[in-house]
Amino acid sequence: METKKKNKNNISIRFNVLFFFVFILFSVLVIRLGFVQIVYGESFRREVERTEDVIVKNPMPRGEIVDRNGKIIVDNTPQKAITYTRQQDTSTKKLLDTARKLAAYIEKDTKKVTDREKRDFWILKNPERAAKKVSKKEKRLVETKKMSDKDLYKRQLDRITAEELGELTPADLEVLAIYREMTSGYALTTQFIKNKNVTDKEFAIVSENLDDLPGVDTTIDWDRKNKFGNTLSSVLGAVTSTEEGLPKEEADKFVAMGYGRNERVGKSYLEMQYEDVLSGKRERVQNVTYKGTTIKSNTVSKGQRGNDLVLTVDMDLQQKVEKIVSDELVKTKRAYGDTPFLDRAYVVLMEPYSGEIRAIAGKRYVRDKKTGNYEIQDDALGTFTTSYTMGSVVKGATVLTGYQTGVIAPGNYEVDEPIVLKKTPIKKSYRTFGNISDLEALKVSSNVYMFKTAMKIGGTHYVPNGTLNLKPGTFSVMRNTFAQFGLGVKTGIDLPNETSGVKNSDTTPGLALDLAIGQNDTYTPLQLVQYVSAIGNGGNRVKPHLVKQIRQPAEKKGELGPVLSEVEPVVLNRLDMKQEWVERIQEGYRMVMQEQGGTGYSTFGGKDYKPAGKTGTAQAFYDGPDRKKYGKEPPPTWNITLIGYAPYKNPEIAMAVVVPWAYQSNDNGMNKNIGSKVMDAYFDLKKEHEGGKTEDKQAETNDASEAD
């Protein structure tokens, strides 16, 4: 009895002890919860509610490029696109899952998938097999830091066999192609999965399944397009693709300016030169994220497409000029057997007072390496990136140099006769003219008159069978004067990569005579038109430019927006010469084209627009794309050129025509054929435009009369 009572007491004590400990634990828990709530409650609440704001800048379409008459040259063509925006903490598994789902809805080109990407993808698909590609010993080396994870992974990649890579099916590769696009950019930056050739069906089915495709969206992208095909294409330049993104060498600069690394930018010529104008104002979107997931997006500022460039070029004229050059190239190559090296021709038309370029054309006649057929390619860039010996067109500058140095005066006569010097081949004009004046020398293109002028500049006179000793600095004197016109110096055109030509470093005295007739240094076609403009406008070297205005985007398609800035004419320098001297050369150039016996009269005599100018022929050596075929000595050939302006009084247009390597022995007159047709096209088009304006004005008058 006592034993049972004692046992009951023991149990009661144990329960009391247990309840006591439970009470203590609950008390501690209550105190801890109270402490956490009171002391840390606010911090934990803020942590639960904590979000991050990330500002994303979305690019907008580029501005348009239009001609002087408002015709759109380069525009943005809308195209359907499928995009992906990766969240900050999206796992590889989720990315692959989304890629697989998307692959079921669209066709994705797999050509750009690299071997390395295939190997990476094989490892993702086969983690257990990939793990067996490295030994335990190699893993221990990583653990002991005797080998890096990077090196271990490389060994895994290298040990994947061709047969194992062959296990990847076309469907796998399509998933991989989508996956590589999804991972190619930063988090919260939109990537294009497909923005070319998206079908209506693909666009619709992806749009319908967006809820099942986290991060995927459908939108309208743009493609840059030249409305005139290849016309002026090389000068207009190009824009990078979404695959190219920012140019590597300038990526950091663009990123600092707020560009995304996959954003498209101008990569050459006008598109590159005016990137800051054509690039749109980026839309700023605030993404509110929580734990790496976007929960809300707000547009901070709306974007706007880029500003528009209005060019000085008249596209109607540009097309006509390009056709003339192309047709003459093809016709001459087919009609003449003496043109083995002829493969290009250039034309520049410019307003002589303002420097506005009305047309800038270059064409090359080349054989397609794949088909073997000949085709015409655009080479307008060659007008300012390539240079050639230009021949007699520089003789006006030579005569003016003679005036300026005081060695000859207007009206000076020289005897045109063969120049015979010791140990030197005879130098002469294409025929002997006898005693001629400076004007006659320009009219008939006397070489000897220019030779004797160069001798006088060099401080000597011609002595038959004598030696030629020129004073030091003769070349510099001539080149410095030529530079006043723009010959041998950059013109300042608003495009990159302009060349200044090549100055021959050899100062053998006889080469000064060659310099005087344009057969020593090389110049660009653009330099020629700047040079003849300086003569035509009375002595101002004007800066050529292709951009006329910068305008804001218009509200309606086909209209021009408000003018932001206008390019004013820039006079780079005034010729350091008397006005009557320049007028003397103007008269000589008029005689070249409008008087019988002038070298341009047979082509330009009788033209109602009364042109002035100068023809040119330069003995040269072939230096084209096939130069290596001919060994150490390049084959001799002839360049033919033409400069001019019209009308000869108060000219409104200046022209330069350059045909390098035109023939080897028999002049085909291609320079004059091109020049005549180009000038005719300009003035014919002018009449058409003026006729249209007259009709419009008459229509306005009739409307007003009806209103009255």
Return the active site residues: 392
Residue 80 burial (CB < 10 Å; 0-12/13-18/19+)? buried
DSSP 3-state of 396? helix
* Inter-residue contact 357 to 232 (CB < 8 Å): no
Q: Cα–Cα distance between 399 and 393 in angstroms, integer? A: 12
Rounded distance between C-alpha atoms, residue 301 and residue 278, angstroms: 19
Residues forming beta bridges with residue 614, ordered by sequence position: 643
CA nearest neighbour of 54 among 92, 85, 96: 85
> In this structure, what DSSP letter does residue 608 have?
T
What CA–CA distance (Å, rounded) separates 95 from 182? 8
What distance in Å separates the CA atoms of residue 692 and residue 696, rounded to the nearest whole number?
Answer: 6
Q: Checking phi first, is residue 226 left (phi over 0); if not, alpha (psi -120 to 50) or beta?
A: beta
Please name the residue that has the structure tokens 């050939």: 637
Q: Who's near 560: CB < 8 A, 6+ residues apart?
A: 66, 70, 308, 310, 551, 554
Give kind and range of the element (H or E) at residue 663. Answer: strand 653-663
Listed in sequence order, the DSSP H helices in 183-289 are 200-208, 233-236, 251-256, 269-273, 275-278
Structure tokens at 523: 């110049």
* Strand-strand pairing, 357-367 and 374-378: antiparallel
The greatest distance separating any two alpha carbons of the chain, rounded to the nearest whole angstrom, comes to 163
Half-sphere CA count of 575, side-chain side, radius 13 A = 30
Q: What are phi and psi of 69, to 5 degrees?
A: -100, 5
DSSP string, 87-123: -TT--HHHHHHHHHHHHTTS----TT--HHHHHHHHH
Q: What is the DSSP string of 611-658?
A: -EEEEEEEEEE--STTGGGG-SSPPEEEEEEEEEEESSSS-SEEEEEE
Cβ burial 42-67 (10 Å sphere, 16+ → b, else e) = eeeeeeeeeeeebebbbbbbbbbbbb
